[in-house]
Every structure is written in C-alpha cells, then in structure tokens.
Structure 1
Amino acid sequence: MKHKLIGTIFAVLFLLAFLPLPFTEGEQTMLFGWLPATLAYWWVLMVVNLVFVLWVCKSFVKHANEEEEKE
C-alpha cells in the first residue's frame, strides 16, 4: 500500500518540477516586493520534497525494524 502512495507522491512532485506552469514563465511577479514568485515556488517545492524524502526514509527504517523483530 505504501509503495503505491510513495509512487504517486513521487510522480506528482516530479510533474510539478518538470512541467512549466503559467506563472513560472513570462514576466516575473514579485512577492513582498523582493522575492520572485518562481523562486518562492521552487523553495516550497524543495521543502515538500525534503519532507517526502524524510518520510520515505522513516518508513523504510520502520519497515526494516519490523522485519528484524520478526526474525
């Protein structure tokens, strides 16, 4: 079950990073007067990606510990 969820989340994150969105091309809009919206988008995407990687690692370690306890 988790493998399907991990694959789905990976696919969504990959598509969000790979496909150009309308606000990532063309004239840059500024957030707070100094932060380009494209840069803010990538920062948010990278934070979400980091949380995803940490969750996958935690899941992997938990599964390995459960396998170890069964033996």
Structure 2
Amino acid sequence: MDRLDLRGLKCPLPALKTKKALAGLAAGSVVEIACTDPMAAIDIPHLVAESGDALEASDRAGDVLTFRIRKR
C-alpha cells in the first residue's frame, strides 16, 4: 500500500496531489492519504466519487484526516 503525507498543505493541493497519485496507480492498488486541511474532508470524497475509485475508509485523529482509497 502506498502512503501519501499531505499534512500542512492547503486546499486545493491535497485534492490535486491525491488525483495525481491515483492516476499513477494500477487498478486495485490502495493508497492511504494523510492530510490536515479541513476542506479535504469534502474534497477528497468528492474527487473519489467523480473518478469512480473506492473510498474504503476515512478517519480523523485530532487534526489529521486519513483516507484509504482503492484505484478502480
């Protein structure tokens, strides 16, 4: 599983970097995204829904949002 640390980046960078990471993955691959931008709680699930990929899990621990995404 790939991990992408986007903590400290502000909108729209977490969504843009997530999109770029997903574009480089093979079908069925999983990436875990960690970020601190509160807008990512809206932006990343929306991006995943638009791309057809699967948001397998999302979590918040303090100010860190974590998303687990499987490439379609």
Q: Same fold (TM over 0.5)?
A: no
Higher RCO (CA < 8 A, seq sep 6+): 2
TM bracket (short chain): under 0.3
Larger fraction in helix: 1
Larger radius of gyration: 1
Query: Given the two structures, how large is their TM-score scaled by the length of structure 2?
Result: 0.27
Larger fraction in strand: 2
Query: Given the two structures, how large is their TM-score scaled by the length of structure 1?
Result: 0.27
